[in-house]
Amino acid sequence: MTKPEVLKAMLSDPELMEKYGITQEKIDQTSMMPFDNSNMIAVIQSMVNIVGSSTYTNTTAAANLSSFLESRLNK
């Protein structure tokens, strides 16, 4: 699956949509970049990008993802 497809698959999860109030319109509008205002959606975008690049090991990828969210929360 391509990165946009992975992103869409994750955002379309019914439980996630309900908990975070994600609409279908939102899913259609969201692409890989720019990062969404919602932290959850942004984390998903970041994870797809990091893991999809296959550049990092899983541990490094997890650390990068963690830093990404950290920096967003500390803004």
Among 13, 21, 24, 31, binds other proteins (CB under 8 A): 13
Q: Distance between CA 60 and CA 53 in Å, rounded?
A: 12
Q: Record the tokens describing residue 2, joined without a space.
A: 């391509």
Distances 73 to 9, 27, 31, 63 between C-alpha atoms, Å? 25, 23, 21, 15
- Based on the shown chain and the rule CB under 8 A, indicate whether residue 24 belongs to the binding site for other proteins: no
The residue with tokens 């984390």 is: 43
Among 23, 29, 37, 58, binds other proteins (CB under 8 A): 58
Q: Which residues contact other proteins by CB under 8 A?
A: 1, 6, 9-10, 13, 15-16, 19, 39-40, 43-44, 47-48, 50-51, 58-59, 61-63, 65-66, 69-70, 73-74
